[in-house]
Structure 1
């Protein structure tokens, strides 16, 4: 059996650590620009004299384009370099946000959002793939948690500054802020690029994209990971999408209060990211998947069934922490799914997660037309617990197989 790597051999170079920090800023920007329009819809509706449903294209069209572009960037990142593609993507996002500032009508704004979405889609999956190339697996989950901290902060910052600047200076200033931030991140990434080795890893020998898809399709472990990603997206993000509405309609609290309560999901995720080093060492991959799914499912089940809405406050926090435990483990495994074409593998994972999100929201919304939100959420929560147990067992079997091969 091969000996484990010496801890010193796992240490990251200063240049790699700096790159991880800068890429975290890029993922922060990518997620913030996704969520920046959420609080703007009423103001955009007023300014462009259009119904909310039509104005919502600035969000829905962005999401569709973002999801479709995931697969495109896999082979592009493998061929031209993941860091370089992320750098270019932040530059194009700068242009897209600047065009949003200059929008004179709704159609122009939607087109500007499409430009931004085309580029933003590259940033998070290629950052994960770059970490997979540069960071030894023993440290990868902890490193991905640091990158995830930027992503989770981006969700909160996008919604916060989108609403704050729209209420004070005007919605264009929110896009101006994003353009300025993307511009700074682009400059920092470009400046640091000279300090990095852009030579592909030794095992990097990507085949054509369709050959790579066939390779994934023949791999039982890859199918397990992608299937788990679809189910995670459907069950978890479906629940998250309806939680605020459930609290509002079931308990009669305001949308502002129910939205603020649901936002604690993000705070729970941030807490995990901040404590990831000790949490990962304590539970290990199998424990993170098992207890993360259990915490997530029980928390959402409590939200669904409690007759006293304040219990949703700690429950949303616990749900966010549990989700981060489960999802961070799944992300780490995804970076190792196709080591010879890591960007392709990670973008397949991201595309599967996005597909699951879309299906989950549609399915839960349809079910709530026929059943109570409490019943639908409770059943979904049971499915989340089952998913966590399944993935933890699959991870244990995979780890045992890899240990035997070593």
Structure 2
């Protein structure tokens, strides 16, 4: 078996691009599995004899378990080869999909979604550290962009395809359709990923030490503000488009597709623009996405302008992941698993928090208040990051 070997900095001089592509496929399948139920909420609720609200809560439970898994995985996995861990997580995703497809009760759906949350949190906690070992240091931004291309594919096509296929084969058929793709991904992992032996000192105490580093702690706050701002708006984009833009079903689907397609542009651009100096780019996601959200607030009734702003927002949304994960790979390169775990926990927590903040503003005031809340969080992120130098390691 080919072994991923390291240089003195813990980075690998050889390149395993087949492994990177396997990781990208896994990302696409994880995102599709996590968010596919959004487009199938009503038929799933009917099929399980539950309310739509109950089914929605079952879907969101994956986020809670993702936070827990991201914090605990590097400790619980101990000295297990990381290739084996990725294979186990992908196998667990397969089991989760089968459980959802066969679910006859709300409780079974909850259990399946909790298992998927463990897969999501565990995978993302390891993803950046694995990419750092699959390609040379100079190729890490491009490899991260390639991996996040899987996210862009799923974001663009999972929801519309799920809705379309659900009408043809039923919601259970949609989940069964994902099963053979995950089987292919498992086989690809086995073939393309090299051995990735665990490194020493992977305990929870080391994670706390990483979190105490001033530059990284500031970075985590910047991450939470940036993602929190994004999901304060994005979670409630549909009511905004329905109430303000007055979008019908066709226009709504088109505008959502615009965001997904823009994701390809964002990952492609980020992989080519990023170089050794990531500091000046750290504030761009909050600055650009906050500006786009402010534009939506001011020009919400013009569909063409809304489409342009959503394209800009969608491109920067996927670029944000590449930018911050590149920052993490360069500034916590001595403890990438611990840094990745903390990053994933911060992102997942901020997504949940953003949804709560946005929903409270929507229910208490209006959809315009939700957008205003997103803009305020974006401004706070820009002010904290500044020129980005305080987020770099000494």
Q: If the TM-score is normalised by the length of the shorter chain, which range does it land in? A: 0.7 to 0.9
Partner of 2:203: 208
Partner of 1:329: 323
2-side partners of 1:326 and 1:100: how far apart? 31
Partner of 2:179: 179
Partner of 2:306: 312
2-side partners of 1:215 and 1:24: how far apart? 30
Q: Deviations over 1:36-61 (max 9, x none)?
A: 11111111222233221122244122
Partner of 2:289: 296
Partner of 1:74: 74
- Give the 5 Å matches for 1:242-261: 242-254=236-248, 257-258=251-252, 260-261=254-255
Q: Deviations over 1:143-177 (max 9, x none)?
A: 11111001221233331332122110111111112
Q: Deviations over 1:91-124 (max 9, x none)?
A: 1211221222222233223323333332333223
- Give the 5 Å matches for 1:120-135: 120-135=120-135
Q: Mark the CA change 1:337 to 1:277 in structure 2 (over 3 Å): closer, same or farther.
A: closer
2-side partners of 1:121 and 1:227: how far apart? 19
Q: Deviations over 1:244-291 (max 9, x none)?
A: 21121123323553354244233222212123343335x952343344
Q: CA deviation at 1:190?
A: 1.3
- Give the 5 Å matches for 1:307-386: 307-310=300-303, 311-386=305-380
Partner of 2:150: 150
**Aligned partners of 1:292 and 1:321 also within 8 Å:** no
**Aligned partners of 1:22 and 1:188 also within 8 Å:** yes
Q: Mark the CA change 1:66 to 1:398 in structure 2 (over 3 Å): closer, same or farther.
A: closer
Q: CA deviation at 1:385?
A: 4.4
2-side partners of 1:385 and 1:123: how far apart? 31
Gaps of 5+ in 2: 1-10
The range that moved more, 38-47 or 117-126, is: 117-126
**Aligned partners of 2:235 and 2:358 also within 8 Å:** no
**Aligned partners of 1:205 and 1:341 also within 8 Å:** no
1-side partners of 2:159 and 2:284: how far apart? 30
Q: Mark the CA change 1:140 to 1:50 in structure 2 (over 3 Å): closer, same or farther.
A: same
What is the TM-score with the length of structure 2 in the denominator? 0.88
**Aligned partners of 1:243 and 1:262 also within 8 Å:** no
Gaps of 5+ in 1: 1-9
**Aligned partners of 1:24 and 1:147 also within 8 Å:** yes
Q: CA deviation at 1:207?
A: 4.6
Q: Deviations over 1:221-266 (max 9, x none)?
A: 1201211121122111111112221121123323553354244233
Partner of 1:6: none
2-side partners of 1:290 and 1:332: how far apart? 14
The range that moved more, 358-367 or 348-357, is: 358-367
The range that moved more, 134-143 or 344-353, is: 134-143
1-side partners of 2:166 and 2:59: how far apart? 16
Q: CA RMSD in A?
A: 2.6
2-side partners of 1:152 and 1:278: how far apart? 16
Provide the aligned length of Structure 1 versus Structure 2: 383
Matched, 1:270 2:260: no
Partner of 2:278: 285
Partner of 1:3: none
**Aligned partners of 1:82 and 1:129 also within 8 Å:** no
What is the TM-score with the length of structure 1 in the denominator? 0.85
Matched, 1:84 2:84: yes
2-side partners of 1:379 and 1:161: how far apart? 32
